[in-house]
Amino acid sequence: MRVYLDNAATTPLDKEVLKAMYEVMETQYGNPSSIHAHGREVRTLIEKARKTVAGLLHASPSEFFFTSGGTEADNMAIRCGIIDHGIKHAITSSIEHHAVLHTLQALEKSGVIRLSYVNIDLKGSIDYKHLEELLSTNDRSFVSLMHANNELGTLTDIEAIGELCEQYNAIYHCDTVQTMGHYPHDLSKLKVHFLVCAAHKLHGPKGVGFLYINHAIKINPMIFGGSQERNMRGGTENVYGIIGLAKSLEIAYEEMEKHHEYIQGLKTYMMEELVKNVPGIEFNGETAPEKSLYTVLNVSFPEMEMAEMLLFSLDIAGISASGGSACSSGTNIGSHVLNGIHANPDRPAVRFSFSKFNTREEIDYVVGKVKELCSLPSKA
């Protein structure tokens, strides 16, 4: 049996998304920048996809720019938002995705900004009083805080952060890669300047995403070379990816309530079964449904001799999971997120992440294999 529980890294492509993409691949090959009929037809498809995305998120199509994914969108928002507006101070947390952290740290290293880190607790939740203190005691700030942590699942209150940023005239960028398509985002009400999406996190294709830029803020392009995306991103558009992104988001919104309930049920069931079968386990991050992303469960297991081999052993048993952010796999530094919440480094941690395609039978299989592995001799 093979079980895929690494959906926070990427999700399986929905068959309906593939169908929509394939129909365009088969018949529409014109360059959308060309003025002839073949090009105009493809341009129409892109703009239809943009309108679909904008309608679902209650914003104007002119506020959405298609990118190669979440990392590019984060980089564009941060670098252009800071440099073009002359921002000298930025606020983030130590457990943001590296697409955010490394970009801000590079700007700090080059002397563009001073970088402050808002306090977080042992579950990865933000100290909102400290955030307000940082906002009130510095010049105009750029705030970059994600909606849900990709390793822990801990949610932030994006409405509260938006209110604080408006109060102190700060620019607010929110990485919503893990929550887009899983929670509704009403941009007619949310006080955010930049918001991002990566299609492959919601059963869409890899290599495509979008950056939402609120109409109240203006930035220059990060990628030059052409007039695509209304002069905001040079380069021929990933037409098939854009079609897939719009279709995957459309499906996600249609099925959101049903899938939220179903996937939360799988997560809750797995937590209950792990507690019953594996003495001494702990859950990292928030686990209460109202405070935690329902697709992510981060588990610290008891100390064991084969701790460093736990993920490998799960893989051998047919179980795909992650020891942290998938973008950091292959490194030996350890998870900066788990380090940030002071998780016990001697206890192996595994991130299990779920999708609508997982089943209870799969959860039973995984718990059984985990129980076997944890029954091996522990460290003396």
pTM of the model: 0.94
**Between 174 and 302, residue with greater pLDDT:** 174
CB 88 within 8 A of CB 234: no
Bridge partners, residue 89, by sequence: 114, 141
pLDDT tops 90 at residue 175:
yes
Amino acid residing at 127: D
Query: Mind spelling out the 3-state secondary structure of the chain?
Result: CCEECECCCCCCCCHHHHHHHHHHHHHCCCCCCCCCHHHHHHHHHHHHHHHHHHHHHCCCHHHEEEECCHHHHHHHHHHHHHHHCCCCEEEECCCCCHHHHHHHHHHHHCCCCEEEECCECCCCCECHHHHHHHHHCCCCEEEECCCECCCCCEECCHHHHHHHHHHCCCEEEECCCCCECCECCCCCCCCCCEEEEEHHHCCCCCCCEEEEECCCCCCCCCCCCCCHHHHCCCCCCCHHHHHHHHHHHHHHHHHHHHHHHHHHHHHHHHHHHHHHHCCCCEEECCCCCCCECCCEEEEECCCCCCHHHHHHHHHHCCEECECCCHHHCCCCCCCHHHHHCCCCCCCCEEEEECCCCCCHHHHHHHHHHHHHHHCCCCCC
How far, in Å, CA of 65 to CA of 200, rounded? 17
The pLDDT of 208-214, averaged and rounded, is 98
CATH of 3-11+255-374, one of 3.90.1150.10, 3.30.9.10, 3.40.50.300, 3.30.450.20: 3.90.1150.10
Q: What is the pLDDT of residue 9?
A: 97
pLDDT tops 70 at residue 379:
no
Is position 374 annotated as part of the catalytic site?
no
Amino acid residing at 336: H
Q: What is the pLDDT of residue 207?
A: 98
Categorize the per-residue pLDDT at 309 as very low, low, confident or very high, splitting at 50, 70 and 90.
confident
The average confidence (pLDDT) of the chain is 94
Categorize the per-residue pLDDT at 380 as very low, low, confident or very high, splitting at 50, 70 and 90.
very low
Q: Which fold has domain 15-251?
A: Aspartate Aminotransferase; domain 2 (3.40.640)
The string over 76-91, giving b where at least 16 C-beta atoms fall within 10 Å of a residue's C-beta and e elsewhere, is bbbbbbbeeeebebbb
- Structure-block tokens of residue 160: 């509260």
The pLDDT of 162-168, averaged and rounded, is 98
- Structure-block tokens of residue 136: 């009130």
The pLDDT of 277-296, averaged and rounded, is 96
- Report the share of the chain in percent with pLDDT over 90: 89
**Between 244 and 376, residue with greater pLDDT:** 244
CB 327 within 8 A of CB 351: no
The pLDDT of 217-240, averaged and rounded, is 96
The pLDDT of 56-61, averaged and rounded, is 98
Q: What is the pLDDT of residue 60?
A: 98
The pLDDT of 239-256, averaged and rounded, is 98
Q: What is the pLDDT of residue 325?
A: 43
Q: What is the pLDDT of residue 254?
A: 98
How far, in Å, CA of 154 to CA of 127, rounded? 13
Q: Could you tell me the residue ranges of all domains in the chain? A: 3-11+255-374, 15-251
- Report the share of the chain in percent with pLDDT over 70: 95
Catalytic residue among 80, 165, 174, 327: 327
Q: Do domains 3-11+255-374 and 15-251 have the same CATH topology?
A: no
pLDDT tops 50 at residue 189:
yes
Q: What is the pLDDT of residue 306?
A: 62
Amino acid residing at 97: H
Categorize the per-residue pLDDT at 310 as very low, low, confident or very high, splitting at 50, 70 and 90.
confident
User: CB atoms < 10 A from the CB of 38, how many?
Assistant: 14
Q: What is the pLDDT of residue 346?
A: 82
Q: What is the pLDDT of residue 197?
A: 98
pLDDT tops 70 at residue 281:
yes
**Between 304 and 138, residue with greater pLDDT:** 138
pLDDT tops 70 at residue 377:
no
Categorize the per-residue pLDDT at 69 as very low, low, confident or very high, splitting at 50, 70 and 90.
very high
